[in-house]
Each structure stands twice: as C-alpha cells, then as structure tokens.
Structure 1
Amino acid sequence: MAQSSEAHARMSWDRYGHLKPELGLAEAAFGRICPFAPSARNEDQIAESLYAGALNRDSLIGRFQAAYVGHVDEGDFRTSGSSGGMASWMAVELLRRCVVDGIAHVRPADPRKDGRFFRYAISRNEAEIRSGACSRYYPVDLSEVLQTIRHTPGRYAVVGIPCFIKAVNLLIAEDAVIRQRIVCTLGLFCGHMKSARFVDSMAWQAGVNPSAVRAIDYRVKTPGRPASWYRARLELVDGNRREKDWWDLVDGDWGAGFFQNPACNYCDDVVAETADIAFGDAWIEPYSSDARGTNVVVVRKPELDGILREAAISNRIRLAPVDAQFVRQTQAAGLRHRREGLAYRLQWKPPSIPISKRVGKSAAHLGARRKLVYRARYLIARESQLTFALAKNIHLPGLYLWWAKAAVSLYQALAYSRGAAGRLFDMLEKICGRG
C-alpha cells in the first residue's frame, strides 16, 4: 500500500497470510491513493493524463505506443528469469543509461529474520536487480521502500503489478517529493495475488514442515518442457530441496483461485495499464511451448520504445511488433475473468462497500455454466483460506488437502469438462441449453 506525505500506514499480516494496512492515514487521503477506493481515479483517467500522445488505444490493453513479443538475447537474462527476461533486462538498462539511480522491486528475503520470503528493496547495480528475477506469487507492500525513496534523493523506477503501479501513480499526483523522484514505472501482467499460505501448502504437499522452508522459486525452468508447465522448488534450511510440478499440487490450478486476495475479485486491469512499460508471458503458440520463455511487452512511453528499438537493432534483444489483438490473445483467460467475470460478480456478489469499475453490471449474455465457473472461483478463493486456517489450527493438513482436491475436481469438471462430473455437466448443458 502506498503512503502519502500527510500520514503513514503500516502493513501487518492477517490470519490468512495477507498484508493489510493499519491506518494512521486520513480517510480522505487514503481514498485518493488506494487503488481500489471508489473515489480514486481509474486506470483510464490516469493513462489519459500520462499517455495522451500514445499512438494506440484499446479497451482492454489501454493506451500504448507499441507492443512486441520476444526475449532477451544478451547474457543469461532469459535463462535466469521465469519468462523471456525482458523485465530484468529493462531495469538493468535503465541503470546502465543513467535514466535512474535505483530500481524498487521485489527481492528474496530471509523468513527467519524478516518473517517473509520476499519484500520490496532498492537495487543500485545489475547483480542486485538480477537477484530479484523470476515470478513472486507472494504478498508484498510498498510502504518501506516508498519511505526510503522519500528520504533518499535520486531518480527511481518502480516495478510492480497493476494495482501497485496504479497506487504509485495516485501517490505521485498527491506528493511532490515522490513525483520528483519516481521517474519510471515498470508493470507486470497479473492474474491475482496469492496469500503467504500458498507456500505453506506447497510445503505440506512436499512432505515438510512450512517452518523448514528457507526460500522458494515458483517457476523453475526445465529444459525440454514448455515454460507454461510450472515447477516449484523449495529450498530447506538443512540445504535440501523439494520440487513439485504445479499440476501435482491440489491447489496448483491457477484459474481456480486458491488463496487469492479478496481485492483481486474487483480488479479490472491485467496488463498494468498505468505503467510506462509492462511485461507478461506470451501465453500463445508457438511461444507458450518454448521452454526458454517469451515475453509480450506493452510500451507506453516513446523514450522506452526507443530503448527497445536500439537494443533490437544491435541484436541484444529479439522483438517482433504485434497489435492489441495479439496481446489480448496472450492474456485471454485473465482478461475474460477481469471483465465479463467482474461484471457478473458485481451483479451476483456486490462488495460491501461501493466501488467504481470500468465494466457494466450486466451478465445476461453468460450461460448458466459460465456463471457457475465464476461462482466456483469466488468460493474457492474464499473457502481455501478459511479451510487452510482451520487445518493449520488443529494441526491436520489432510483436512485442507482433502477439501482442496474435491474443490478443484468440481471446478475442473465445470471449467474443462474433466472426469465423470464434467461429462454430466456436458450432458445437462445439452439438455437444458446455455440458460
């Protein structure tokens, strides 16, 4: 959560492994800088003020100067990252060109000292930046690093998921010091934020106590396998490792929404529409089958587009221009969940506080089965956290694992027609029709 100069907010863990603010912040100020506050400017309004001259505009991708698909050829950025290496490469390039003095991004932390596996930090050299490569499906917050930026003169870039970048831009509009010092934002496409309990669940399923985990890599690349076949690696305090494919995890189906932060149910931005440049995975063939990983890049600042073009000409990176439709296809599932799914959630399960989103509230075009899929995701996101908390409190991991296996089986029957239940849903759908 961002902080303004008017007051301070401290983040603390709740019982479900999410970070929440302990407000010492005036309500009006909080409403202006919280990315989910109904009174805050939305992504379209922020982007209009930042990228009015952008060449392209799309209802799902936002304003942008250019879009590309590709990867880094220079060094081992690609092999050491979870995708094509473009986000880490751009962060390093900004330092090399003296565009910024530091990069605020997520780096590994020692859970025995910090009480968490990852936290935001400021990197000032290539080695520090590259220590933060790879995906981090773990709760983090900006509070401490923004205070560092406030108290340490210099020019900074901030790397973050869509809601974080939106919060930074809202804060920039409120705070003259932050506005002077944050000169660039790098966005990361986002499906949703997991709670810290996802690590604990992985440990249970790997046969170890969560307290024995020292570090985690959520996406280990395996030669000969598509980059989309996620494999997690747990580093243990005794020096041993445990690895497990995501599809062998009872809660490894990303779309089902296990341990999802509740706020993610009401987010409508997948591609970081308020970031100067944003990076995601090219989840479309032939790129999704490439074990080395490939990025899709959406650039909104002409200066950053110039950096990309120069590097491509010198063969340091390899990029091919694409259009908005291509970007949409690479993120089709996420965009569908954040737009038509959000429209249905606003109708079926409106939040307890008023919110303003960029989608209509009509879901009349959705069939009954699709509505059930969105309901199942919502319930799995909520109940996974409640059930895990109960299992942890009574020291009975099997309770959660049994529940999760049953929940994902029902979800996959609905969403993918898997198993006998899936065939039953198919038959009922044919008999009853989409309604």
Structure 2
Amino acid sequence: MDWDRFGQLKPRGPADWYAARTEAFSRQCPFGTLATNEDELAADRFATAAVRDPRIGSFEQAYVGAAKDPYRAEGSSGGMVSWVASALLASGRVDSVAHVEPADPGSGGLFHFRLSRTREEVSGGAKSRYYPVHLTEVIRTIRETPGRYAIVGVPCFIKAVHLLRRADPVLEDRITHTLGLFCGHMKSAAFVQSFAWQLDTAMDEVAAVDYRIKDQGRPANWYRAHLTLKDGSSRAEDWWHLVDGDWGAGFFQNNACNYCDDVVAETADISFGDAWLEPYSSDGRGTNVVVARTPEMRDLLNSGAATRSLELASVDADFIVQTQAAGLRHRREGLAYRLRFMPPALPLQKRVAPSSAGIDRRRKLVFRSRAWIAHWSHRMAYAARRTGLPCVYTAWARASLTAYRGLTYSIGPLGRWFDRLFPKSTA
C-alpha cells in the first residue's frame, strides 16, 4: 500500500498483477465483483440472531449509553469501543487487539494500525481517526504469531477481514472477534492538510491531529479540530467554521464509499456509533449506540451494566436507524441513484439495485452534488499543493459548501432560489 497524489492509500505492484484480476482477489476485496455481500456473510455468522432488520442487520440486543470514566473521557464518544476491547483482553478472550493509533513521526502517515495487549495500550488508540490506514502489517503479524486476536475497524475493513478469513484457515482460527465502527465515509490524508491551511499552518509543522476535541460544556456534535505542532503549540477551530466542515457534503471522500451500503458494520460481532439523537447529542460527555450481534457480546455488555461499569439502556432497531438516518438514506436511496447515474467500472455485488424511482429532482441534485464535491475536492487540493496557493482549494470549497447548504438545508439566497425551483426535500 502506498500514497497516491490525492493522499489516499492504493495498492502498488507490478503491471501484470493489476491486469490479472484473479478470481481469488475478486472474492477477497470487499468491493470485488465476486465478493460475498453483507447479508450473506451475516446469515452465515449470525444464523440464530434474535432480530433481523434490513436496515441495520442481524443482532441480539441494541443499546444506548456509555462506559464509566476513564473510558468515556478518553474517547470521542461514549468510550464503549475501548471498554469492550479492554474487557476482551482482561477476560482472556483475546491476546491482542488491532486498532488505529497515532503513528510515530516520520513513519509516512499520521495514524496506523497496531496490536495492543493491555488496557493502557488500548487507550492510546481511543478517539476518532478520519484518516487512511491499512491492515498489511497487522495481518502479517497475526499470520506469524499464534494467538487470539480482535480487530477494530470500519464496515469495509471488517467485511474484508471476514472475506480473508474464509480464504485463509490460519486467520480464520486466530481472528476471533471483530468490533465494527459506524461509518459515514472515509477521508483522504488531504483533510488534515486542509485543516493546516485554514489554521495558517504549514503541513510539515503538524505533529498530530485530533478530529474531535471533547468539551463537556458543549454538545457532542459540535466537532472541533485540533492540530498539535512540532514546536509544542497548537491550533484549533470548530468544524462549522471550516470551508469543508460539513461531513455530509463529502469533501475528500474515497470513491469506494460511493458504492458502499453498510453504515453500521453489519458483519462485525459488535458495532458502535454515536447517539445522534436528543438528549444524547447535546451531552458533551459523548454517548454511544451499540449493536451486539452475538450472544457473547450481548452477555459481555449486560455483565458490564450489572457491575455498573457501563450505563446502558436497551433500544430497538428504529432507535438505531434514527441516529444514522442521513447516512442510511445516502447509502441506500442514494446508492441506488448513484448506481444509475455513475455506475462503477466493474459490476459490484450490491444489495441495492440501480434506480431513480421515487427520488425527487432536488434530492437527485443533493446526491449529485455530494459526488461532485467528493470528486473535485481531491483535485482542487492537489492543485493547491502543486501551486503553493491554499486559496485555490479553500475558495473553491467555500463556494461549493455554500451551494450545497443552499440546496440541502435551504440556507441563504441560494437556498431561497432552490426553494422556488424545487419542492423542499429532507436531505
């Protein structure tokens, strides 16, 4: 895996490898043309699940809540991912947990996957990481070192792990638990470059980034980006003041995300997201929604609640869907439309068929604008880097975001103009 000009990780190899397009590779890549889809993987893994829901998959029990400190204080949300990872280690269910943490300076990236064996090491990987990473070294270590391993990842990573386990008996035996993270889309490394530009900082001065500084005095959904510089100083800004701070607009989105239909890690043993509903979204301490898909994970959470290590309340599938409503619309209705107006180069095994039925003109424009922003943000940022003129990107991004918010939220003069042209649409 290596960096391309847009700050995304891509496989790099000999020309004949690219040309081969082998059946084995197509079955193992989560976006491969022969890859087993999420429904089929889940049916095999969770054959006796208590609930089967077409929106969030199969599961035993769902919850809203948080872990007690220090887990909650250390995390971007309710600290549940770190708590479960640490509980798996403490109970001896696994020997090591693969998760993302800040990388050493000079390693070629700001974050990487590592294997942790203690609660203290796990805590070093707490918080959200909207940055490209890969599993190459972790998978190599798992193959070489006997033991029981858990892997934390976004939906396509977890799906890739299960597809690889099917093809590799060693990994099938050693990777025993998967912890999935709800995902809107993946960003490129250029997102951090954009933070630096807008905070009047050179990228080579940046030592670390925190995408979501937690402040208990502010609502949890008031994201604040924070850069730590090599001289020890720092820069910070609220996302809503950034020219690309609206997550839904799709700035720096990886193109593969246009063809993903799994928001909630449907193939993982347990899945975690943010509780984006009131009163939870206003609680600056952070709150998780959790979907336990196996009896083991359900029992682990219920045990944590019984010992008061966790504050949990049971919820139903509708509650989980409401917390991720925009993402699910984009990955189901939006995917159906994208498969129609921008079909992938190779046929993919998706659970959504190409269609524009029932989608009004304004919503079609919303879906098209997100794809347009995702495509051009990479190229405009690249042009800004090549010319040494950050304004090439920031001016374009500001104008694009203004138009997007007018179209999507009816904000400003453009919003009033769109309201006259099209009926209002919830985006």
- Residue identity opposite 2:61 in structure 1: A
Separation in 2, partners of 1:143, 1:269: 23
How high is the TM-score relative to the length of structure 1?
0.95
Aligned to 1:49: 44
Match 2:23 to one of 22, 28, 41: 28
Aligned to 2:415: 422
Question: What secondary structure, in the 3-state scheme, does the structure 2 residue paired with 1:114 have?
Answer: coil
Cα gap change, 1:199/1:430 in structure 2, threshold over 3 Å: closer, same or farther? closer
Separation in 2, partners of 1:303, 1:380: 42
- Residue identity opposite 2:88 in structure 1: L
Q: Which runs of 4+ in 1 moved over 4 A?
A: 23-26
Separation in 1, partners of 2:402, 2:106: 38
Separation in 1, partners of 2:296, 2:166: 21
Separation in 2, partners of 1:375, 1:48: 33
Question: What secondary structure, in the 3-state scheme, does the structure 1 residue paired with 2:35 have?
Answer: coil
Aligned to 2:138: 145
- Residue identity opposite 1:79 in structure 2: A
Deviates more, 1:25-34 or 1:184-193: 25-34
- Residue identity opposite 2:2 in structure 1: S
Aligned to 1:85: 79
Match 2:93 to one of 88, 93, 99: 99
Deviates more, 1:351-360 or 1:39-48: 351-360
Aligned to 2:206: 213
Match 2:32 to one of 30, 37, 55: 37
Question: What secondary structure, in the 3-state scheme, does the structure 2 residue paired with 1:70 have?
Answer: strand
Alignment of 1:328-367 (within 5 A): 328-367=321-360
Aligned to 2:368: 375
1:109-144 Cα distance to aligned partner (Å, 9 max, x none): 12x320100000100111110000000000000111
Question: What secondary structure, in the 3-state scheme, does the structure 2 residue paired with 1:113 have?
Answer: coil
- Residue identity opposite 2:72 in structure 1: R
Is this contact kept in 1: 2:155–2:181, CA < 8 A?
yes
Shift of 1:223: 2.5
Match 1:235 to one of 199, 212, 228: 228
Instruction: Give the number of aligned pairs.
Output: 421
Match 1:263 to one of 256, 273, 285: 256
Separation in 1, partners of 2:24, 2:111: 28
Pair 1:384 & 2:377 matched: yes
- Residue identity opposite 2:153 in structure 1: G
Is this contact kept in 1: 2:82–2:122, CA < 8 A?
yes
Pair 1:16 & 2:9 matched: no
Aligned to 1:196: 189
- Residue identity opposite 1:178 in structure 2: L
- Residue identity opposite 2:273 in structure 1: G
Pair 1:165 & 2:158 matched: yes
Separation in 1, partners of 2:102, 2:423: 50
Deviates more, 1:216-225 or 1:183-192: 216-225
Match 2:53 to one of 40, 58, 61: 58
Point out where structure 1 has 5 or more consecutive residues left out of the alignment.
Answer: 1-10
Separation in 2, partners of 1:38, 1:226: 42
Alignment of 1:265-344 (within 5 A): 265-344=258-337
Separation in 2, partners of 1:35, 1:81: 28
Separation in 1, partners of 2:217, 2:309: 24
Give the share of equivalent positions with the same residue, in percent: 57
- Residue identity opposite 2:85 in structure 1: A
Shift of 1:22: 2.2
Shift of 1:90: 0.3
Cα gap change, 1:165/1:291 in structure 2, threshold over 3 Å: closer, same or farther? same
Point out where structure 2 has 5 or more consecutive residues left out of the alignment.
Answer: none
Aligned to 1:405: 398
Shift of 1:430: 4.8
Is this contact kept in 1: 2:60–2:293, CA < 8 A?
yes
- Residue identity opposite 1:331 in structure 2: Q
1:31-86 Cα distance to aligned partner (Å, 9 max, x none): 1110001201000000011000000001110111110000012x311011000000
Pair 1:251 & 2:244 matched: yes
Aligned to 2:103: 109
Separation in 2, partners of 1:285, 1:257: 24
- Residue identity opposite 1:279 in structure 2: F
Cα gap change, 1:250/1:237 in structure 2, threshold over 3 Å: closer, same or farther? same
Separation in 2, partners of 1:373, 1:151: 47
Match 2:149 to one of 156, 173, 181: 156
Separation in 2, partners of 1:155, 1:170: 18
Pair 1:174 & 2:167 matched: yes
How high is the TM-score relative to the length of structure 2?
0.97
- Residue identity opposite 1:22 in structure 2: R
Question: What secondary structure, in the 3-state scheme, does the structure 2 residue paired with 1:137 have?
Answer: coil
Separation in 1, partners of 2:160, 2:266: 12
- Residue identity opposite 1:274 in structure 2: T
Shift of 1:356: 1.9
